[in-house]
Structure 1
Amino acid sequence: MHKTDELQANILCKSCGLCCTGHLFIWVRLKAVELDRSQALGLNVIRSDPRQRGFTQPCPLWQGQCTIYTSPDYPRVCRTYQCRLLIEVNNGDTPLKDALSSIEQVKGTIRELETHLPVASNNNFRERLVAYIESTERPARHEKTDSELRQKAESLLDFYEKVFGIKDLLDRLQEQR
């Protein structure tokens, strides 16, 4: 990667962090050899199913930025993951300024939705968003607000797919359409 591209990638990733905060993913896959090291770093490691070994999101080590970025035990997937937006910036298809604007737009939508999502035992935004959209319960007295929020939530999922390349968020919702 060219030095300028690397700088732009760092700026974009550090201003975003959505792949670390539980907004895009429920969990992150790890290689078997990374499990112990990742747990020692403080990640919430999942070991029960060999097909789903990894750590849960949001990453407990995200404090507005990655606190283990320079660690030699930094998980490989964290080091190598590139969302569609990052790839487009690196390829010169999307200017960094436009990418940063997209990040601010999606974060604004997330902030709007966050306060309306159901409280859950875990604090993963993605799981709470899916539960909200899939919920068949509709508050009668707030029908208009609920409809607007559902529309905003579905727009956010479309944005995730279009901008970040995340398309496995809601299998059942796609089947219902």
Structure 2
Amino acid sequence: MKGRDLLSLLEPLLKVFIFITRLFPQFILRIVYDLSRFIPWRLGIFIRLILIRTLSKSGNNIYIATNVTIKNPEYMVLGDNVSIHENCFIDANGGLEIGNNVSIAHNSSIVCFEHSWADITTPIKYNPLVLKKITIGDDVWIGCGVRILAGASLSNRTVVAAGSIVNKAFEGNVLIAGVPSKVKKALN
């Protein structure tokens, strides 16, 4: 039985678990999510799916691998068929929208805020955060080790090469790469 077939069979059970988890306070669910990060195999995937669909606005067929840190999931919207692979870090504090059919490879980071440094009498780490939304369109592949910074935007059908740093908006149907990222070629 394929993964999608199994998930469709489990969908009614998934809805029951989501209903039950919504009865718990958010801080308890976040603690349980943090603990579930290290549970491997299908059990861990199922637990993380329940929790992320409870804590955020999420579509169907979401895959979150082991050791994925997600902070501020209440500001995150996930489309259908999204996969987030091992060792990724996501902080959706400034708002994060991820479209359908998106794959985020291992060791990538998405951070929706920046530190300001305007107040010179206060250390930079204590200056206020500047929140900036990140938008990732449909049919996007984010290679391993990519960093997507606050305010960035990736339009539909974009490939981000491994190790790239994305710090601005890009039109769709392109391959981008580099530090900082630039359009390398159009996708045909």
Sort the TM-score into its range (normalised by shorter chain).
under 0.3
Normalising by structure 2, we get a TM-score of: 0.24
Greater relative CO, 1 or 2 (CA 8 Å, sep 6+): 1
Normalising by structure 1, we get a TM-score of: 0.24
Kindly indicate which of the two structures has a greater share of residues assigned to helix: 1
